[in-house]
Amino acid sequence: MQEIIKKKSLKIEPNLKNYDEMYKKFKWGEVKDEIEWFDTKLNAAYNAVDRHVKKHGNKIALYWEGENKTEKYTFSKLSELSNKFANVLTRLGIKKGDRVFIFLPRIPALYISFLGILKTGAIAGTMFAAFGPQGIKDRLQDSGAKVLITDSELKKRVYEIRNELPKLKHLIIVGETEKEEISYEEEMKKASPEFEIEKTSPKDYAFMLYTSGTTGKPKGVVHVHQSIIQEHITAKWVLDLHEDDIYWCTADPGWVTGVAYGILGPWSNTITSVVFEGRFDAEKWYSILEKYKISVWYTAPTAIRMLMAAGDELPKKYDLSNLRHICSVGEPLNPEAIRWGMKVFNLPIHDNWWQTETGGILIANYPSIPIKLGSMGKPLPGIKAVIVNNQGNELPEGKEGNLAIKSPWPSMMCEIWKNPKKYNSYFKKNWYITGDLAFKDKDDYFWFVGRADDIIKTAGERIGPFEVESALVDHPAIVEAGVIGKPDPMRGEIVKAFVVLKKDYKPSKELEEEIKEFVKKRLAGHAYPREISFVESLPKTRSGKVVRRLLKKLILGEELGDISTLANPECIEKIKQVLQKQ
């Protein structure tokens, strides 16, 4: 049975009032009027910041919450500082098309340098501050970056691989410098606040990001300046940003969400954003929602599950009355998480779907349409999403297959860096094939089934891990679950679950049986996990996604391959021990 949340009392008139009507009539050309083409050329940084200076120069663009201090920046200030940084790069000989990478924690210099790079016409690359030397080397080597901006702490990791990076000419350091390093602070002091922004054509390259590496080695996905058109309209329609909102995107700009919805989309809408430098901490997060009176919050299932694990009493200690809209992306959002949102915030969490490659949100739950729990929502106006079989032929509603998008759309990736073969492999007929499996229902809602590689084939049936994981986390003892197919001589594969228990629960044979019975009652008989392993934590990418391929390799006893994108490599040994005991 489908569980539906109809939203009666929205705290504000949504920007996209009538989804169905807009879906029918919308043409991308209409959005161009919301963006300035800047003398017929389009620069995403200009559109995000500089064009607002005249009317909204004194409006706060960024509230920054550091470990021990806070800062704030108006749109004018960001415009001026990013101009300065563009001058710093120009003095170093950076030109249009060069790659300039950023390896910084979430400090203001990250945001300023990102905008500055775009202003020169160079391609900005971002790297999450938790990367180790291998992750940094892979990305800098592959992209052939000429300049890296980092800080006096993180640079130590860069020096471990410095001599394997012959193309890297300059290191700009925030903080103390040595020898031939360039000081960010000194250069910024000297640089002029005036800069003639490069008039890039809409299809010129703007930024590149490596994917999360959930299914293999990360790919260098490149995006063009016009992607801001899509980021602008989705920030308005999906995140529902209004002029007076205070908005918090919890994603790091090392991932596409942190660029598209932590920088370009919201600022293009002249929105005040909050950036928190620190790591996840339930109390701190609630205190930020309270302190800054956050009204719109964009986060991820992994964070929501961690907040759930911290208990329902904690949020009651904070005044969260300004919060009016919550969105989530990155992994499937289990229905239990939405029910929890209703309970503690009195707000549903709006799931939406997209990928590094798509550059912007493509399928979403909009404020103005009912939420069907467990569904990713409906395609964005201007986007045609379908389900196709492996030959690229469209499948009817209710049939599971490859989620595919009619190509192109404004924020579609333009290249997998130096890998045209990989790029071409995404397309079949006129469809961009996402690599995810899904189905759509009679109302055009899309339902995520799993990544194509993660599908479990048991006794002739196909089972998506998401539905089993969602049933598992409905159980009161379970925080998180990762489900895979384990080879079995009789059934081909059996469903095998790795589960993390809440603090107050202990693994036992009885609990295992109880969980199996619990899932059996909720899903088709064959879909319950025949084997359960209780683990302390699941392997996750640094962007917080469960890496099922590693769980599979662990049970097969195979080589793990590249684990540079793993956030918690220490969990591997622990899972091995659990498996050995079983």
Alpha-carbon distance values, 221 to 94, 105, 211, 338, 415 (Å): 21, 21, 7, 31, 6
Contact 91, 107 (CB under 8 A): no
CB of 269 to ligand ATP, least distance (A): 22
Q: Which two tokens stand for residue 246?
A: 């205070």
- How does DSSP classify residue 122? P
- How does DSSP classify residue 68? S
Strand-pair category, 363-364 with 378-379: antiparallel
Residues 182-211 that bind ligand ATP (CB under 6 A): 211
Residues 200-259 that bind Mg ion (CB under 5 A): 211
Give all strands (DSSP E) within 334-470, no chain letters: 349-353, 363-364, 371-372, 378-379, 385-388, 401-406, 415-416, 427-428, 431-440, 446-451, 456-458, 461-463
CB of 436 to Mg ion, least distance (A): 8
Task: State yes or no: residue 218 binds ligand ATP (CB under 6 A).
Answer: yes
Residue 83 interacts with which of Mg ion, ligand ATP, none, CB < 5 to 8 Å by class: none
Residue 329 interacts with which of ligand ATP, Mg ion, none, CB < 5 to 8 Å by class: ligand ATP
Kindly give the interhelix angle for 465-474 and 509-522, rounded to the nearest 10 degrees.
120
> 336 by DSSP, 3-state: which?
helix
* CB nearer ligand ATP, residue 330 or residue 539: 330
Task: State yes or no: residue 213 binds ligand ATP (CB under 6 A).
Answer: yes
Residues 169 and 146: their CA atoms lie apart, in Å, by: 5
- Of 16, 12, 26, 10, the closest CA to residue 366 belongs to 16
Contact segment (CB under 6 A) with ligand ATP among 106-114, 138-146, 198-206, 326-334 equals 326-334
* CB nearer Mg ion, residue 94 or residue 363: 363
* CB nearer Mg ion, residue 223 or residue 242: 223
* CB nearer ligand ATP, residue 496 or residue 548: 548
* CB nearer ligand ATP, residue 320 or residue 362: 362
Task: State yes or no: residue 351 binds ligand ATP (CB under 6 A).
Answer: yes
Count of residues of this chain found to bind Mg ion when the rule CB under 5 A is applied: 1
* CB nearer Mg ion, residue 98 or residue 252: 252
Contact segment (CB under 6 A) with ligand ATP among 284-292, 350-358, 378-386, 516-524 equals 350-358
Contact 484, 465 (CB under 8 A): yes
Residue 448 interacts with which of Mg ion, ligand ATP, none, CB < 5 to 8 Å by class: ligand ATP
Task: State yes or no: residue 116 binds ligand ATP (CB under 6 A).
Answer: no
CB of 455 to Mg ion, least distance (A): 15
Any idea which residue has 């595919």 for tokens? Answer: 404
Phi/psi of residue 172, nearest 5 degrees: -100, 125
Residue 66 interacts with which of ligand ATP, Mg ion, none, CB < 5 to 8 Å by class: none
- How does DSSP classify residue 164? G
* CB nearer ligand ATP, residue 79 or residue 214: 214
Which helix (H) or strand (E) segment holds residue 240: the answer is none
574 bridge partner residues: none
- How does DSSP classify residue 543? T
Residues 545 and 432: their CA atoms lie apart, in Å, by: 23
* CB nearer ligand ATP, residue 202 or residue 220: 220
Task: State yes or no: residue 411 binds ligand ATP (CB under 6 A).
Answer: no
Contact 265, 234 (CB under 8 A): yes
Contact segment (CB under 6 A) with ligand ATP among 52-60, 109-117, 185-193, 214-222 equals 214-222
CB of 327 to ligand ATP, least distance (A): 10
Which one of residues 141, 177, 215, 537 is an interface residue with ligand ATP (CB under 6 A)?
215
Residue 97, burial from CB neighbour count under 10 angstroms (0-12, 13-18, 19+)? exposed
Q: Which two tokens stand for residue 515?
A: 């969980």
- How does DSSP classify residue 130? T
Which one of residues 486, 545, 552, 553 is an interface residue with ligand ATP (CB under 6 A)?
545
Indicate the residue whose CB is closest to Mg ion: 211
Any idea which residue has 């080589």 for tokens? Answer: 559
Residue 331 interacts with which of ligand ATP, Mg ion, none, CB < 5 to 8 Å by class: ligand ATP
Q: Which two tokens stand for residue 19?
A: 């989804």
- Of 307, 299, 283, the closest CA to residue 247 belongs to 299
* CB nearer ligand ATP, residue 211 or residue 368: 211
Angle at 460 between CA 459 and CA 466, to 5 degrees: 85
Which one of residues 332, 341, 360, 367 is an interface residue with ligand ATP (CB under 6 A)?
332
Number of residues in the chain = 582
* CB nearer ligand ATP, residue 94 or residue 296: 296
CB of 451 to ligand ATP, least distance (A): 5
Q: DSSP string covering 413-429, please?
A: --EETT-HHHHHTTEET
Task: State yes or no: residue 330 binds ligand ATP (CB under 6 A).
Answer: yes
Contact 337, 308 (CB under 8 A): yes
CB of 355 to ligand ATP, least distance (A): 4
* CB nearer ligand ATP, residue 116 or residue 213: 213
Task: State yes or no: residue 376 binds ligand ATP (CB under 6 A).
Answer: yes
- How does DSSP classify residue 264? I
Amino acid identity, position 143: S
Task: State yes or no: residue 375 binds ligand ATP (CB under 6 A).
Answer: no
Residues 422-461 that bind ligand ATP (CB under 6 A): 434-436, 448, 451
Count of residues of this chain found to bind ligand ATP when the rule CB under 6 A is applied: 24
Binding flags for ligand ATP, 119-138, as an x/- string (CB under 6 A): --------------------
Phi/psi of residue 553, nearest 5 degrees: -60, -35
Any idea which residue has 């600022």 for tokens? Answer: 267
Which one of residues 15, 90, 212, 334 is an interface residue with ligand ATP (CB under 6 A)?
212
Residue 218 interacts with which of ligand ATP, Mg ion, none, CB < 5 to 8 Å by class: ligand ATP
Contact residues for Mg ion, defined by CB under 5 A = 211
Residues that bind ligand ATP (CB under 6 A): 211-216, 218, 329-332, 351-353, 355-356, 376, 434-436, 448, 451, 543, 545
